Chains A and B, each alone.
Chain A
């Protein structure tokens, strides 16, 4: 543990006060208070039901922290939490959802130093690059916060039909979406897949990057303090091969985002077919800095079309 703490300080160059060793030999050096990385389910931070954890290492192999190793039952609990939160979240006005997503960006901005340190540790990137990644992640929240109340105008509208009908289409959220976050891009990649799903009014269960899950857990802390109702986002850390199959087969999950599923994607899509889930397949070589448009929002929206007679 001490080693990882040192490692973090060295790379981030933060200006924490040095331990005051020289004041008095009778006062022992302060013990660092290390964070327990847990899951984020239903607005709370539970440990894994299985009691397991695994060691998360930095890009050069040093131990950073232990993360919870979630089990199939944690995935099930997360689905329950997401389903419970769906009614309230989807019923909020799109404008209100936008305000909350913007609030997430605000809170994230306030904790950027911590995320930059996380990224330096996890990916071995330079401090400048880490700052650029965190800025892009914050901007992405703002981007989707702006979209929430404009999706309907772009993805829906009134349709010209041949007949005495007023015909109107409106996008509605698909429901509970299970997401396999990309293994690369512990923060920007995660935000890029998660934000569009909840912007549309869905609730999400995220399987965080197996290799670098710490930023995801810290993001959970940001979400928990951003007026986002508990259960709208649920974050699981652990083995993708263990968590993704029960989510893909779960009858109460409505859609799958397989962005980070890798070799498992085909198998997961097959499992999802039994309950006719929407599936977003992984794409080759994502550029997380590129303008995503609505390409990640519309796959998780259902179009409702209403025919209303006129002239009577």
Chain B
């Protein structure tokens, strides 16, 4: 476990941050892959599977992040978030709806009083290539419109070129702009090249004030792979042990099937612990996953396989 001698991070220089982040223990790549592959062979059946499916549904951040998004589409998605399966009221609602910042107001109105949160991507999602002022305006606007959660992207270019102070200070500035809204920091692990970088970015984001660390935007492949999620779960586990502050994890992108979702839940339980098995600390960023969860749920309750024709396309 790394030491926590980063008390004065806000005033740190690139040299000291570099010394700290590169002083973190290296990731055993082969070991991480093997551990993730091993845990994904767990067999979760019958009642345990039913519980896992309901928990996964409660953890879903139902996401639409397309250039073609409209207010109508966001309202439709909000309806689905409140009642994922209109034919079965026992299906729990999802954790949140995740939209672009200009559609936050529509989502907030559609979800008022439902208990479903509104998350907004901000800070020039998905590339993060914009001046800091623009990123902050983007964030403040989303918060003012009622977003309870902000998903920001880090500046991967700065991170990869070693300008850790820039990455750190941006997160701090956006966190401040968030006010009471929760901040999820997207590392975009598909662009970070190595697992060591994923660990470093995780610790940097946590020290800078992230409430959640999130794997990916969903616009870059590979997105949320199991080894990457494993490394991030280890990071939040160690961070809580070191500082006492609990941080959430959100894998996003590429999680399409119930099997994928359950593998993630096993990973959470075995790596970070059962404290994280809660929508407050673990989220699944996805859009098509929800339909598969509903189909599997129907299979468990009725005994027959369901088909995509019976669920909404979104």
Contacts and interface: CB of A to CB of B under 8 A. Distances in A.
Interface of A: 76, 79, 83, 246, 249-253, 271, 274
B304 A76 contact: no
18 contacts: A83-B307, A246-B304, A249-B303, A249-B304, A249-B305, A250-B304, A250-B307, A251-B305, A251-B306, A251-B309, A251-B310, A252-B305, A252-B306, A252-B307, A252-B308, A252-B309, A253-B307, A274-B304
A79 B303 CA distance: 16
Most chain A Cβ neighbours within 10 Å, of B304, B305, B308, B310: B305
Interface string B223-261: 000000000000000000000000000000000000000
Most chain A Cβ neighbours within 10 Å, of B303, B307, B309: B307
Contacts of B307: 83, 250-253
Contacts of A79: 305
A interface, over-half SS: helix
* B contact residues, range: under 10
B309 to A, nearest CB: 7
Contacts of B304: 246, 249-251, 271, 274
B302 to A, nearest CB: 8
A249 B307 CA distance: 11
Most chain B Cβ neighbours within 10 Å, of A249, A253, A274: A249
Most chain B Cβ neighbours within 10 Å, of A246, A252, A253: A252
Contacts of B308: 83, 252
Interface of B: 303-310
Contacts of A250: 304-305, 307
A251 B308 CA distance: 8
A20 to B, nearest CB: 47
B23 to A, nearest CB: 46
Given A246-B305, A249-B303, A251-B307, 8 more contacts: A83-B307, A83-B308, A246-B304, A250-B304, A250-B307, A251-B306, A251-B309, A252-B309
Contacts of B305: 76, 79, 246, 249-252
Nearest to A249: B304
Contacts of B309: 251-252
Contacts of B306: 251-252
A271 B303 CA distance: 11
Nearest to A76: B305
A250 B309 CA distance: 12
A42 to B, nearest CB: 16
Nearest to B304: A249
Q: Give the 6 A-B residue pairs with the shortest CB-CB distance, closest first.
A: A252-B307, A249-B304, A251-B307, A250-B305, A251-B306, A76-B305
A246 B304 CA distance: 6
B304 to A, nearest CB: 4
Nearest to B308: A252
A38 to B, nearest CB: 22
Contacts of B303: 249
Contacts of A252: 305-309
A274 B306 CA distance: 11
A253 B305 CA distance: 10
A78 to B, nearest CB: 11
Most chain B Cβ neighbours within 10 Å, of A250, A251, A252: A251
A76 B306 CA distance: 10
A274 B304 CA distance: 10
Contacts of A253: 307
B254 to A, nearest CB: 18
A11 B15 CA distance: 82
Nearest to B303: A249
Contacts of B310: 251
A270 B9 CA distance: 69
A172 to B, nearest CB: 16
B140 to A, nearest CB: 45
A191 to B, nearest CB: 28
A274 B303 CA distance: 13
Nearest to B310: A251
B147 to A, nearest CB: 37
Contacts of A249: 303-305
